[in-house]
Amino acid sequence: MPAAFKNARILIVDDNQSNLALMLYLLQAFGYEALAKKDGVAGWEAAQSEAFDLILTDIQMPGIDGYE
């Protein structure tokens, strides 16, 4: 991993628990600091209160979707 990305913080937002678990596992295995949220509202709140280098989000979720 390039040094510039070594401490990258990634937020994962998905309403599918299997997708969340897989993405969290893979990103952490590669050394990234990853945080998982199970819906758009929780993802929005996390993004407003913490700084992330990248946000990976599902597009189709109930409530607040990935586009919002």
pLDDT in tens, 20-42: 999 999 999 999 999 999 998 99
**30 assigned to some structural domain:** yes
Q: Does a structural domain hold residue 2? A: yes
Q: How much is the pTM?
A: 0.85
Give a yes or no: residue 59 inside a domain.
no
Residues 41-53 have pLDDT tens digits of: 999 999 999 999 9
Four-point Cα dihedral 38, 39, 43, 44, nearest 10: -170
Q: Does residue 56 form part of some domain? A: no
Q: Any residues with CB less than 8 A from the CB of 54 and at least 6 apart, and which?
A: 8, 9, 10, 11
Does a structural domain hold residue 9?
Answer: yes
What residues make up the domain containing 2? 1-34
Residue 62 falls within a domain, yes or no?
Answer: no
Q: How many domains does the chain have?
A: 1
Residues 6+ apart with CB under 8 A from 6: 31
Among 4-8, 12-16, 31-35, the range scoring the smallest mean pLDDT is: 4-8
Predicted pLDDT of residue 27 = 94
